[in-house]
Amino acid sequence: MTNGRLIRIRTHRSDAAAVIYVVAEKREKAIAILKHALSRPEDEYEDLGRVTDTVLAALALQPGQITRRNRCRSVALYIKGALY
């Protein structure tokens, strides 16, 4: 399986309602998939880093699939243990 990406989407720099997605693809393709799936091309897409195969397997994500992770605790676990 391929490594995935952790992507944050927000409407502006200090957006309190920003949402985090895990995408099972490389950076450029991950952002393109999200822009197409969400129909939010004007929003800011920020690549926060790589997600390991272990995390993708735990989330049961196959290449090209996405999942929304909008709880801070979930994101903190990814950053602490899965990104490098």
Predicted confidence (pLDDT) per residue in 22-55, tens digit: 999 999 999 999 999 988 888 999 999 999 898 8
Burial of residue 35, with CB atoms counted within 10 A of its CB: 0-12 exposed, 13-18 middle, 19 or more buried: middle
Q: Which pLDDT does position 13 carry in this prediction?
A: 83
| Residues 6 or more apart whose Cβ sits within 8 Å of residue 28 | none
Average pLDDT over residues 44-68: 91
What phi and psi values does residue 14 have, to the nearest 5 degrees? -105, 35
